[in-house]
Structure 1
Amino acid sequence: MFRRLTAFAVLIWSLGFLWFAVALPGPLPANVKTDAIIVLTGSQGRIEHAMAVLAAGKAPDLLVSGVDREVRPREFAVQFKVPARLMRCCVTLGYRAYDTRSNAVEAAQWVAEHDAKSVRLVTADWHMRRAALEIAREFPDSVRLELDGVPSHPSFGTLFLEYHKLLARAGLNLWEWLR
């Protein structure tokens, strides 16, 4: 009996990991507009993609969550080639977040301050599911979350670690719900 349960658990874990690794969330269609964009700092391409979406007029405001405290707005603008006009009107650098959980808290506060009803979440495709889980947990039900995964080429190790982080977070959510 124990062997069967163990084999079943390994099968479920394996199928879940296969789904996680193969069906990574992709980019949103180009025509989708939202009230705001939130991009989580991290791997290459995230901020560049969010800036392109902002410049294309798909949303009026952008929060860059998880910016290092030592990065000044001017340095950010130079590094990511952000026109001064966009930096002044539309880009907020968020310095309070240091991990995905605190990104969610920072994002929820910013969304409330900006009265956004729809938000485009930009992060790496492999990070999207856990980021969306954390953010949806903090956002009110009235805010529509659109997932805009930035395509990447994650290593097996990155996928393995992120899958387990997602399982742990989902398990904690379930535990809190059951209590």
Structure 2
Amino acid sequence: MKKFLIVGLGNIGEKYENTRHNIGFKILDQLAKQENLTFETEKLGDITTYKFKGRTFILLKPNTYMNLSGKAVQYWLTKEKIPLEHLLVITDDLNLPFGSIRLKTKGSDGGHNGLKDIQDKLQTTAYNRFRFGISNSFSKGKQIDYVLGEWSTEENLIMEERLNQSVALIKSFGTAGVSRTMNAFNGK
């Protein structure tokens, strides 16, 4: 059976729950809600397992805080003996319009500290990342307030549909493969 590690990046704690920076957690929570899954706190994160079409998806929400996500990713890849090409990291992206999604097989951290730590721990930039656009609608010097801010009323109106699209991308990643998933979902 093929195994995949799907990592949603975010920060633990109630005060971060509905912030833009926590979109990785929010997407995994949506999948868990749809499939009636429950996360359990284990080493370095909250984990649940989802079986779909002969695949096993291990969903991980690291509890190491965003900037130290690499430790949890490395631990669970090793523990579950999951190959690097079966890793998918879900993160927010300031450079994409709100709600747009982009799957990439490699790339820079783009100034994202969670990705920077994962890259450092894995010693490679060649891992799959799913970037969810949060836009860059903030004034100069307000980036931290923006990413740690809550979604706007307008964003919340279309959030459910974007979350469902994101869940579909995860399922496609594990069943159809990264190339077909990129063709089907990027820019949608």
* Superposition TM-score tier, normalisation by shorter sequence: 0.3 to 0.5
Instruction: Return the TM-score normalized by structure 2.
Output: 0.41
Report which of the two has the higher share of strand. 2
Pick the structure with greater CA Rg.
1
Instruction: Return the TM-score normalized by structure 1.
Output: 0.43
Report which of the two has the higher share of helix. 1
